A and B are shown apart, each in its own frame.
Chain A
Amino acid sequence: MDPGYPGSVGRSAPLGRVLSSIVTVVLVVVIVFGIVDALVDPAAVALGQGAAPGEVERLRAAWGLDRPWTTRLGELVVGLASFDLGVSRVQQAPVSSLIGQAFAPTLAYALPGMLLATSLGIGGGLAAARRVGGAVDRALTGVATALMSTSSLILVIVGHQLLAHRWGLFSLVGWPLVGAERGLWTLVGLALLPALLWALVQVGPDLRHYRSVFVRELGEPYLDGLRSRGIAEGRVLRHALRGASAPILARIAGRLPHLVVGSLVIDQVFNIPGVGGLAITALRTGDLALCEGLAVVLAIITIAGQLLLDLAAAAIDPRLRAGGRR
């Protein structure tokens, strides 16, 4: 896929990146299943702190936890190799299918919300960085800091209560979306407010981050070189945008762990059966297997997504191809 550098230095960097991603996945599995299973007794967690000792032993035997750890490790590895994450003993359903069902509702609001926040953040950051300390910069940075300081709890609760309940600007009923026979516009209407609130939560820190990225990039001498050749300011900024592509993609990659979980508060307040809602259910019912499955699956998706974004960054920015990470 690379155009082929002399000496093919460029080929080894993506390969190394893939290998290190695989190592990371293995480590995640070790940390989540190995350490958690060694330290915590799922039966005791499921029964809570007030359980009688005999009851815990009985549950351990019923779940097969009293067998030697080597047997259980073997089962685990075989299961993972065939994408089987075990069964949620509390919900009596395979973990993988529970997680699979939860993705559509989460992405329905989180993906548009993230796209909106990222474009607003990049646009706002660029506008603020063009004149550091100017009126636009101060106004945007002030708004971003205020938004960032307002806990997502406050933004989501107040937004949901006022915009939807009190003023009726957005439709409320209708979740769950999955399996319901509804038109596309109904879906858009239902996901609109969660997506807007998601964007509101994310745009504050993003704008500040992109501002600092562009402050650095706009100080680069190559832009003055372009200007001195009489190139229009709009095109100069397009060059700056491409020059800053690596930190922008890195920021989006850093956002992926949030994207795949969605927002716990939005899921809870809007009663959305998303990944966040599933995690809350796992917490409430003491479902350790579901929690472990969520951690591993979401981590693998995150790592895969970050790998793709890294490769995309290398495709856009030739400086990243030769030297690996900048």
Chain B
Amino acid sequence: MKRGHSGQPERSGSVGAGQRLGVAGRLSAGVLAAFVVIALGASLGLWGADYHGFVADPYAPPGAGLWLGADALGRDLGARVLQGAQVSLAVGLGGALLTLATGGVLGALAGFRGGLVDRLLVALTDAVAAIPPLIALLGGALILGPGVASVIVIIGLSQWTGLFRSVRAEARRLAGADFVRAAEAMGATSLHQLRVHLLPHLAPLLLTSAVLYFVHAIKVEALLAFFGQSSQELPSWGGLLAECGSELARGIWWPVLGASLPLALLVLAAQVVADRLSDAS
């Protein structure tokens, strides 16, 4: 974002990303980075490599050897929790990018073009938004079958309507702006307009939305994993909650804690970053 966001008189001069995030935001960004390191290390086999071996008694409590105890089948719970970070981050990133691609492109197109294209796309969005999101998610899972890739596609193709509306509104505002109309009068092509005039001004909105959709995608993944629709090979936090959640009343707290603490922490960190970004922009 080299260009400052126009029409913001109270914020003068260029402010660095760190300053915009503030203390809580920088702390949260650090937490996000730690999750990325955990996921990368787990995928490279640096830690948590033995997540499918039966190494202990079922529901062995945390203690020597197994720092987070064992799950229902006696597998190393700590290793499974570390591996679960991969699935959450992959779906979070993939889902956010695909949502951004569908909602952002369609929204920019509708807002910038206007006319018939705009009317058709708005009608389409109204229809997609009217289908309850949970039903769309389950229907998508039914059609595409379980797996990380299908979860990403389902999220990207069904959850874009909110982004469409905000991008469309912003693009509409920009399409009427003087500098855009001046460029149009000078014969600028649509692609040039999009790249030079629209994208830099949409960037703050898109960045904040990307983080929000990252949060949303992680929550949706946990939900779909709870119903057995996410990754079939790697462990996932939602799947862990489905396996072991009903044991909490018997006093077996470690699987629930192991799955919910990282899930809540990851979502909270991303949410705080998104809040700071939207406050700043």
Contact = CB atoms under 8 A, between A and B. Distances in A.
Interface string A251-294: 00000011011001100110000001001101100111001101
Interface stretch (A53-61, A76-84, A159-167): A159-167
Contacts of A282: 138, 142
Given A166-B249, A264-B227, A283-B142, A27 B126 contact: yes
A294 B136 CA distance: 10
B123 A151 contact: no
Interface stretch (A123-131, A176-184, A298-306, A315-323): A298-306
Contact of A152 (B123, B126, B223, B271): B223
Contact-residue size bin, chain A (C-beta under 8 Å from the other chain): 35 or more
B60 interface: no
Contact-residue size bin, chain B (C-beta under 8 Å from the other chain): 35 or more
B123 A24 contact: yes
A282 B137 CA distance: 12
A20 B132 CA distance: 19
Contacts of B272: 145
Nearest to A287: B142
A269 to B, nearest CB: 8
Contact of B249 (A39, A145, A162, A303): A162
A276 B134 contact: yes
B271 A257 contact: no
Contact of A298 (B135, B227, B256, B260): B135
Contacts of A28: 127, 130-131
B130 A257 contact: yes
Interface string A124-148: 0000000000000000000001101
B256 A145 contact: no
B132 A36 contact: no
B110 interface: no
Contacts of A280: 138, 227
Interface in B213-269: 215, 219, 222-223, 226-227, 229, 238, 241, 245-246, 248-249, 251, 256, 260, 263-264, 267-268
Contacts of B133: 257-258
Contacts of B227: 264, 268, 280, 283
B128 A150 contact: no
A87 B249 CA distance: 40
A158 B256 contact: yes
B271 A261 contact: no
B219 A24 contact: no
A267 B267 CA distance: 24
Given A291-B142, A295-B136, A150 B130 contact: no
Interface in B111-145: 123-124, 126-136, 138-139, 141-143, 145
Given A36-B143, A150-B264, A264 B223 contact: yes
A238 to B, nearest CB: 29
Contact of A27 (B127, B139, B238): B127
Contacts of B241: 153-154, 157
A30 B120 CA distance: 14
A146 B136 CA distance: 27
B275 interface: yes
B139 A295 contact: yes
Interface in B129-180: 129-136, 138-139, 141-143, 145
Contacts of B126: 20, 24, 27
Interface centre among B136, B142, B145 (most CB of A within 10 A): B142
A161 B267 contact: no
Contacts of B136: 295
A30 to B, nearest CB: 8
A12 interface: no
A31 interface: yes
B142 A31 contact: no
B191 to A, nearest CB: 29
B135 A261 contact: yes
B246 A161 contact: yes
A40 interface: yes
Contacts of B132: 257-258, 260-261, 295, 298-299, 302
A158 B271 contact: no
A151 B260 contact: yes
Contacts of B127: 24, 27-28, 30-31, 299
Nearest to A286: B142
A92 interface: no
Contacts of B260: 150-151, 153-154, 158
30 contacts: A23-B123, A24-B126, A27-B123, A146-B268, A149-B267, A151-B219, A151-B263, A151-B267, A153-B238, A153-B263, A154-B241, A154-B263, A154-B264, A158-B256, A158-B260, A161-B245, A165-B248, A165-B249, A257-B131, A257-B132, A261-B134, A279-B134, A279-B135, A288-B143, A292-B139, A295-B136, A298-B132, A299-B127, A299-B130, A302-B132
| 5 closest A-B pairs by CB | A165-B249, A27-B127, A149-B268, A161-B248, A257-B132
Given A24-B127, A157-B256, 16 more contacts: A28-B127, A30-B127, A32-B131, A49-B145, A146-B268, A153-B222, A157-B248, A161-B248, A166-B249, A257-B131, A261-B135, A279-B138, A280-B227, A294-B135, A295-B131, A295-B132
